[in-house]
């Protein structure tokens, strides 16, 4: 446990060296907020609320959703696919696996350090900005607690998904293709920028079965208070189910990858 | 007037000195400190048309910096460079038309497509007349054997093939000077031979001036009669290669295998303590000041039945070290 | 010009060789470059299906706006994306030297050696979207309007190229320019995917007068769809984009020359 904490801290520290880049990334996110909120304000026009599959949604709720979307992106986001991909392509993965440390957890700790850094130096300023500039809505204590639980699950889910996609590099070297495809699917079905409640009926029905919306749309709806308690429970349940499915999936892909590495040399 | 004329050439670089510690990083950002370094210091030489000159020195000695200034990529801090009457960095376009450059480690060929297409690109860039272009390709193909892979994408070539293709690319436009930077590095012996033969032939038939940077002693032996040695920005030697080797060589190592084991006493009598023996093999360190490999071999032939002889000659780095050592001594003396 | 004919010849040979040796990867590049704009348009469609319009622009008009920016970008990216992005590495490793020893402008040489087939596929998709779009909007297709449209696209491409070149040229001074490149070339451009009227005055001013991406798509398109409410006189709407493009690109070339001089005096 202490090892992972050390890895996490080291990863956090190494990010402090890139000051200029941190500032840049903050501006990227700020720009995203600006664009998204402007779009929603324009869409709403003179209306204060708009109908959706979950009833009326006010502009303020929508703006809160948008800012949360970007925050969750920061918290959940990782560059696992790229790091795994380049490690596999270069063969570095072989030396990583010789070390007597569970690899997946090690990568997670490294990601964790970077995420922690981004939370402190990117997300906190953004939330502050959002609060003062747009009047962010805050949920009740209960909703906040449930949101955090869903968020943690979301982090686990996204990590598992990314790792599996990253492992594809063992078979398909051009890992940025796999990564891109994954991102396409995520942007369509996760609700990271466009909440599912505005989607047409048929679309919602499909999206509900997929695990992608459990990372963004699900938790953020809880935060914004658009779910009933029952619905939230269902959400959490679905998250656990998918975590189980993906964990098994990961183990399976991993064993196949390991075999390929050992037999063919990667 | 010699063709290449370099006079008092100096290049000074400003490097930021980085301080340590967390306050250091802050100070570096707010008030950076710099130091001056002379990569090339008052270098002068002249080269005539058609010479093949070896330009050698340890890594970081200033070789590439000098060459960059001659090629026109870098602007000198002071001093002059004149090539065929032109100042390179002031006449980049004109100068570029007369030179060819081969980088040993980097290819200048277009990676994804067949070699011949890069040649056609060169034809366009250098405005080579069609007849001349075809003549050159045919001639180079003969000597370097490029035909077999001229239609293959560059990324699929072996190192030897790539180097030959690069060499050809550099000479298509009949440059008056070619700069070769480690052209035989990593190549097989037979390819090295071919490359050296090619360079010699081009120099002979077209009077192309060749400036060669290399760490390979055989390259120098087989190609250059004249050698310039640079170390720490200063030109330390400019002259005959044989003279350099004779006077600054370190020890040759002579390995002689005899039919019967020779007694140590006998060997000690001739070589003192400058030998070791493993069974029937004798290793002798030959000091050029007092002895020569030839004389040692003669002694062996006269003293025993010799089955095999091997001579390991001095490496260039050792020559330079010795040169530097004696240079320092002369300085101290004067 | 002979050079352009040669470049086109190389492009064809490049594509042929790539397809011959790498056909699956090329196919994937085609797929991925086609998917992204379609995904973005799908999202746009969903939003407008619910809300009807953004600031008076309907779905087809927004699609036109989006596609115009995209097309101009792809036209310039096909030629100049690889060269400007590579500059950071070339300057850092000293590989740029190889471009200084040729009797040809290093930028021309860099362009000659690259061709971004990914962006080219995206361009094909973009043109298809344009055709579909023009049909739906029932726009007049005359020689005059086509000529004007081409001038806008080329002018827009020049504007984008200018900024890409400037960001690439920064490599002569700054070591890590990737973030700046991304910010200026990708993120700021993202703002213009929607009509500039939805943003506040500062942003609008920046995108019209500091980094005039607004002239690539917004000014021409708004002039076309809403000529009465446009603050720009007709002359501006017709000519501003190509003129601005030429001027900015020319300036960027001068800046590149300054960068080159610096490289030559300080080495790498």
Q: How many CA atoms lie within 13 A of B102 on its CB side?
A: 27
Size of interface B-C (CB pairs under 8 A): 62
> Of the ranges A141-145, B166-170, C40-44, C72-76, which one carries the lowest mean pLDDT score?
A141-145
Q: Which residues of C touch B112 (CB under 8 A)?
A: 14, 17-18
Best B63, B125, B155, B156 member to test C by mutation, with max C CBs in 10 Å, is B125
C-alpha span between B263 and B105 (Å, rounded): 50
Report the share of chain A in percent with pLDDT over 70: 98
Of B106, B117, B125, Cβ closest to residue C95: B106
How many domains would you assign to chain A? 1
C-alpha span between A72 and A153 (Å, rounded): 12
Please tell me what DSSP assigns to residue B146.
-
The mean of the pLDDT values for chain C is 90
Q: What is the pLDDT of residue B324?
A: 66
Is C176 within 8 Å of A11 (Cβ atoms)?
no
Of C100, C265, C266, Cβ closest to residue B92: C100
Q: With CA atoms as reference, report the closest residue to C260 among B88, B99, B92.
A: B92
Torsion from C-alpha of C223, C228, C230, C233, nearest 10 degrees = 80
The reply to whether A28 touches chain C by the CB within 8 Å rule is yes
Of C6, C17, C265, Cβ closest to residue B75: C265
Angle subtended at Cα B195 by Cα B189 and Cα B199, rounded to the nearest 5 degrees:
145
pLDDT tops 60 at residue C70: yes
Main-chain dihedrals φ then ψ at residue C183, nearest 5 degrees: -60, -50
Q: How far away is chain C from the Cα of B93, in angstroms, using its nearest Cα?
A: 4
Residue of C nearest to B78 (CA): C265
Please tell me which residue, A226 or C69, carries the higher pLDDT value: C69
The reply to whether C258 touches chain B by the CB within 8 Å rule is no
The answer to whether C97 contacts B73, with C-beta atoms less than 8 Å apart, is yes
- SS3 assignment, position B177: strand
The reply to whether C39 touches chain A by the CB within 8 Å rule is yes
Q: What is the pLDDT of residue C160?
A: 96
Q: Residue count of chain B, please give it.
A: 334
The answer to whether C103 contacts B13, with C-beta atoms less than 8 Å apart, is no
C-alpha span between A238 and A209 (Å, rounded): 9
Q: Which residues pair with B101 in a beta bridge?
A: B179
Is B209 within 8 Å of B4 (Cβ atoms)?
yes
User: How would DSSP label each residue in C68-130?
Assistant: HHHHHHHHHHHHHHHHHHHHHHHHHHTTTHHHHTSSS-HHHHHHHH---HHHHHHHHHHHHHH
The reply to whether B130 touches chain C by the CB within 8 Å rule is no
Is A59 within 8 Å of A149 (Cβ atoms)?
no
Of C32, C39, C179, Cβ closest to residue A187: C39
What would the mean pLDDT of C199-204 be, rounded to a whole number? 91
The reply to whether B109 touches chain C by the CB within 8 Å rule is no
Q: Which residues of A touch C41 (CB under 8 A)?
A: none
Q: Which residues of C touch A174 (CB under 8 A)?
A: 25, 28
Is B214 within 8 Å of B52 (Cβ atoms)?
no
Ranges of each domain in chain C: 2-262
Q: How many CA atoms lie within 13 A of B211 on its CB side?
A: 27
The answer to whether C47 contacts A43, with C-beta atoms less than 8 Å apart, is yes
C-alpha span between A144 and A138 (Å, rounded): 8
Sequence-ordered alpha helix ranges (H) in chain C: 2-51, 59-93, 97-100, 106-113, 117-137, 143-169, 178-181, 188-191, 201-205, 218-225, 234-266
- C253 exposure class (CB count in 10 Å sphere: 0-12, 13-18, 19+): middle
Q: Which residues of A touch C190 (CB under 8 A)?
A: 31, 35
The answer to whether B125 contacts C102, with C-beta atoms less than 8 Å apart, is yes
Q: Residue A168's domain spans which residues? A: 2-263
pLDDT under 70: residue ranges of chain B: 1, 21-22, 24-25, 29, 249-250, 289, 313-317, 324-334
pLDDT tops 50 at residue A76: yes
Each residue's pLDDT tens digit, A2-61: 778 888 888 887 777 777 778 888 888 888 888 999 999 999 888 777 877 777 888 888
Q: How far away is chain C from the Cα of B110, in angstroms, using its nearest Cα?
A: 7
Q: What is the pLDDT of residue B334?
A: 43
- SS3 assignment, position B128: coil
The answer to whether C194 contacts A38, with C-beta atoms less than 8 Å apart, is yes
Q: How far away is chain B from the Cα of C181, in angstroms, using its nearest Cα?
A: 23
């Amino acid at each position: 446990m202490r090892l992972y904490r050390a890895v996490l801290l080291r990863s956090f520290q190494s990010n402090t060296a890139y000051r200029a880049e941190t500032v840049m990334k903050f501006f990227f996110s700020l720009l995203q907020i600006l664009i998204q909120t402007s779009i929603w304000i324009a869409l709403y026009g003179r209306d204060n609320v708009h109908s959706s599959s979950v009833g009326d949604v006010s502009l303020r709720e929508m703006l809160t959703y948008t800012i949360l979307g970007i925050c969750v992106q920061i918290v959940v986001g990782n560059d696992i696919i790229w790091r795994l991909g380049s490690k596999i392509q270069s063969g570095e993965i072989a030396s990583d696996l010789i070390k007597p440390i569970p690899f997946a957890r090690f990568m997670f700790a490294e990601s964790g350090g970077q995420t922690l850094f981004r939370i402190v130096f990117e997300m906190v300023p953004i939330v502050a900005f959002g609060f003062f500039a747009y009047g962010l809505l805050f949920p009740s204590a209960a909703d906040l607690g449930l949101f955090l639980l869903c968020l943690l699950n979301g982090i686990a889910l996204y990590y598992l998904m990314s790792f599996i996609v990253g492992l594809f590099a063992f078979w398909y070297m051009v890992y940025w293709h796999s990564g891109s495809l994954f991102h396409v699917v995520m942007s369509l079905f996760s609700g990271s920028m466009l909440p599912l409640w505005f989607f047409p009926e048929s679309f919602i029905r499909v999206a509900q079965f997929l695990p992608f919306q459990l990372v963004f749309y699900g938790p953020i709806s809880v935060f914004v208070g658009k779910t009933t308690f029952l619905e939230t429970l269902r959400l959490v349940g679905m998250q656990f189910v998918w975590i189980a499915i993906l964990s098994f999936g990961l183990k399976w892909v991993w064993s196949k990858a390991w075999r390929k590495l050992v037999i063919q040399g990667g | 007037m010699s063709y290449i004329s370099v006079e008092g050439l100096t290049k000074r670089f400003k490097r930021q000195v980085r301080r340590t510690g967390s306050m250091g990083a802050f100070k570096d950002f707010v008030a950076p400190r710099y130091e001056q370094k002379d990569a090339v210091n008052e270098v002068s030489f002249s080269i005539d048309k058609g010479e093949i000159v070896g330009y050698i020195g340890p890594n970081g000695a200033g070789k590439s910096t000098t060459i960059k200034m001659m090629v026109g990529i870098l602007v000198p801090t002071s001093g002059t460079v004149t090539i065929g009457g032109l100042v390179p960095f002031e006449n980049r376009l004109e100068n570029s038309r007369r030179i060819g450059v081969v980088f040993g480690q980097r290819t200048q060929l277009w990676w994804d497509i067949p070699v011949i297409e890069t040649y056609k690109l060169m034809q366009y860039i250098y405005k080579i007349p069609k007849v001349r272009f075809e003549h050159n390709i045919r001639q180079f193909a003969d000597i370097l054997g490029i035909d077999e892979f001229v239609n293959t994408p560059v990324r699929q070539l072996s190192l030897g093939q790539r180097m030959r293709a690069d060499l050809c690319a550099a000479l298509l436009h009949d440059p008056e000077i070619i700069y070769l930077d480690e052209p035989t590095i990593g190549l097989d012996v037979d390819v090295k031979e071919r490359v050296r033969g090619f360079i010699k032939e081009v120099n002979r038939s077209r009077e192309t001036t060749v400036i060669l940077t290399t760490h390979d002693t055989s390259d120098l032996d087989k190609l250059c009669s004249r050698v310039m040695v640079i170390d720490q920005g200063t030109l330390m030697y400019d002259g005959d290669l044989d003279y350099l080797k004779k006077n600054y060589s370190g020890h040759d190592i002579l390995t002689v295998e005899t039919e019967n084991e020779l007694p140590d006493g006998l060997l000690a009598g001739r070589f003192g303590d400058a030998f070791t023996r493993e069974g029937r093999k004798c290793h002798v360190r030959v000091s050029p000041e007092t002895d020569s490999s030839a004389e040692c071999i003669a002694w062996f032939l006269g003293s025993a039945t010799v089955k095999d002889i091997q001579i390991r000659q001095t490496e260039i780095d050792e020559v330079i070290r010795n040169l530097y050592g004696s240079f320092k001594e002369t300085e101290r003396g004067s | 010009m002979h050079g352009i004919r040669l470049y086109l010849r190389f492009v064809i040979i490049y594509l042929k060789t790539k397809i011959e040796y790498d056909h699956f990867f090329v196919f994937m590049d085609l797929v991925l470059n086609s998917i992204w704009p379609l995904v973005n348009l799908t999202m746009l469609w969903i939003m407008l299906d619910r809300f009807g319009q953004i600031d008076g622009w309907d779905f087809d008009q927004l699609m036109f706006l989006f596609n115009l920016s995209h097309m101009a970008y792809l036209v310039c990216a096909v030629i100049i994306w690889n060269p400007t992005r590579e500059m950071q590495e070339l300057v850092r490793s000293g590989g740029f030297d190889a471009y200084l020893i040729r009797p040809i402008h290093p930028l021309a040489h860099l362009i000659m050696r690259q061709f971004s087939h990914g962006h080219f596929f995206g361009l094909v998709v973009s043109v298809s979207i344009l055709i579909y779009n023009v049909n739906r909007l029932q726009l007049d297709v005359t020689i005059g309007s086509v000529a004007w449209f081409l001038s806008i696209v080329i002018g827009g491409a020049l504007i984008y190229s200018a900024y890409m070149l400037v960001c690439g040229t920064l490599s002569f001074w700054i070591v890590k320019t990737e973030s700046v490149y991304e910010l200026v070339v990708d993120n700021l451009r993202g703002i213009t995917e929607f009509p500039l009227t939805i943003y506040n005055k500062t942003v609008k001013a920046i995108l019209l007068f500091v980094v005039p991406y607004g002239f690539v798509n917004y000014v021409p398109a708004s002039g076309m769809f809403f000529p009465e409410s446009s603050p720009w006189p007709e002359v501006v709407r017709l000519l501003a984009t190509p003129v601005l493009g030429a001027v900015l690109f020319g300036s960027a070339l001068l800046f590149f020359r300054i960068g080159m001089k610096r490289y030559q005096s300080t080495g790498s």
